[in-house]
Amino acid sequence: MALTDRLLAAWYQGHPALTLLRPLECLYRRVVERKRARFLAGEGSIYRAPVPVVVVGNITVGGTGKTPMILWLIEHCRRQGLRVGVVSRGYGAKPPSLPWRVRAEQSATEAGDEPLLIVQRSGVPLMIDPDRSRAVRALLDSEPLDLILSDDGLQHYRLARDFELVLIDAARGLGNRRCLPAGPLREPAERLQAVDAVLYNGALADKNDGFAFTLRPSALVNLRSGQRVGVEHFPPGQAVHAVAGIGNPQRFFNTLEGLNWRPVAHAFADHAVFDAQALSFTPALPLVMTEKDAVKCRAFAADDWWYLAVDAQPSEAFVSRFDDWLAHLKH
């Protein structure tokens, strides 16, 4: 088991050795609390965009379903007649320059896997730059937009924001509720009291402190041909090689089991780089991966490689909450 896997298991399942990391946690908390205090006081270089900015972020380390939620927000805002743009750090991307406008025909190496997926699925104007303030400026210089979505960036306090949306994995929760490196939290749990909305990925109903949302499998898409078929394409009991290089691979494997398939799980690190040899498994079975992984594998995909497309479905109460905020913008 890799070090990161062992840490994740300790954070969410408990381990006595984590007490040794408490002094480092105290230092980390001081740094992040000071950083937020400066932001609240208006100190330092803080850029406020001329259009509203919605941050879709994490308070925990690991995957929470941000990309499907951003895709939902893009389409929902467009239905309200809003011109939407997205900025992203572009984790793992190696563009020729920064800020960099992501186009659908670019490679994942150049654009980053998540930004490329978002652009290929939605066609949204998207700019990557670790300095999200600079990314927003560049995007607004190139496009007339009404609203900006920031992919992650909850802790990027150089960018002012108008709506903070935090996603949490409902099964994992906040783990041991401790900050890095003694726990999975990027900021203390009390930070959630200051955000505009919390969404729990996988929750079956709204909670007192947040809203529910689920990821609904919508189709299987063939990597080579682009053929799109229903999830009933594979019969119940079908064995498949399941590939997931995301923040929480087990959630993907559980989804496949929920479709009554028998996944042979192959978990990779988040944002892993693949080649044909790494995905050459025995016995010969159809291979199903996440859409995020698929953008990196089309060039060498075999005929029976598929990705599972998923769509975010937030609760009606969240939709109402977000629509109320959007309506406020128009007045």
Q: Work out the burial of residue 178: count CB atoms within 10 Å of its CB; fewer than 13 is exposed, 13-18 middle, 19 or more buried.
A: buried
In the DSSP assignment, the letter for residue 255 is H
pLDDT value of residue 167: 98
CA distance 223 to 228: 10
Its pTM stands at: 0.95
pLDDT value of residue 3: 56
CATH level 2 (architecture), domain 3-212+314-329: 3-Layer(aba) Sandwich (3.40)
Per-residue pLDDT of the chain (331 residues; tens, 9 = 90+): 455 778 888 999 999 999 999 999 999 999 999 999 999 999 999 999 999 999 999 999 988 999 999 999 999 999 999 999 999 999 989 999 999 999 999 999 999 999 999 999 999 999 999 999 999 999 999 999 999 999 999 999 999 999 999 999 999 999 999 999 999 999 999 999 999 999 999 999 999 999 999 999 999 999 999 999 999 999 999 999 999 999 889 999 999 999 999 999 999 999 999 999 999 999 999 999 999 999 999 999 999 999 999 999 999 999 999 999 999 887 6
Residues 6+ apart with CB under 8 A from 72: 311, 312, 313, 314
Distance of CA 197 to the CA centre of its chain: 16
CA distance 178 to 186: 9
pLDDT value of residue 331: 66
Q: pLDDT tens digits for 19-56? A: 999 999 999 999 999 999 999 999 999 999 999 999 99
Q: Which tokens sit at 309? A: 């497309």
pLDDT value of residue 217: 97
User: Structural domain boundaries of the chain?
Assistant: 3-212+314-329, 215-313
CA distance 106 to 108: 7
